[in-house]
Structure 1
C-alpha cells in the first residue's frame, strides 16, 4: 500500500512539473494568438493540439514511465484529451459568453479547473500499468 502511494505521488509530482511548464508555455502561445486577433475558440484548439503532442511524449516517457505499446496509449490519450478538450472549450465558452469573463482569464480558469480530472484520466485510462520505480 505504501509503495502504491509512493508511486502515485511520484507520478503526480512529475505530472505537476510537466504541467506547469507546458501550461505556462501554451498559455503564452494562447495569449499571443489572442493578441494576433485569432478567435479564442481557434486559439484554444491550436494550443490543445500542440499541448497534446508535447504532453503525450513527456508524460509517457517521464511522468508515467509507461512501456505500453504506443498505439494503445496514444489512442487512449487522444480519447482522454478529446473529452477534456470539449470540457475545456465548453467551460471557456461558458465563462466568456455567459459569465462575461475575458478569454484571457477564462482560458486560465479552465486549465486550472480541469487539471485533476485530466490527471485521473491519464492515470486510470491511458497509462494503466506504470513501472514501480521512480
Structure 2
C-alpha cells in the first residue's frame, strides 16, 4: 500500500491529465476508468480504496487496525475489516468485533453481533443516533 497518497483532488487531477494524454493518442477513456487507472498506478485495487486512503481521508484508520469504541451503547474492541470512501466526507467501515456485542439492552433476550458495517464521519461517529441521542457507532482515539 502507498504510504503517502496525494489528496483526492490531486488524484482526480492526475486522472484528468491521463484522460487528456490518452485522448491525444487516439485512445479515449471515461473519467471513471481514468480514476481506476490512477488508483492502480499507486498500487491500489480501485478508486474507492484510493479515495479512502488519500491524504485528507481519515489517515488514522487502516485495514487490519485494532479499534475500540461503542456500538449501540455497548463497548467493543475489534479490527477494521473494510474501509471505503463515501460521499460528503463520510466513510464506510466494517469492524469485526473481538468479542460479540449484544445489541439488545433487555435482560430477557440477546442479539449478538460479530461484525458491523456503518457509515461514519471523519470523527468516527455515525450520523444515525439511538433514541437517547447516542450515535449508533463511535470509535475512540
TM-score (norm 1): 0.36
Q: Which has the higher strand share?
A: 2
Q: Which has the higher helix share?
A: 1
Q: Which of the pair has more CA radius of gyration?
A: 2
TM-score (norm 2): 0.35
Instruction: Using CA pairs under 8 Å that are at least 6 residues apart, name the structure with larger relative contact order, 1 or 2.
Output: 1
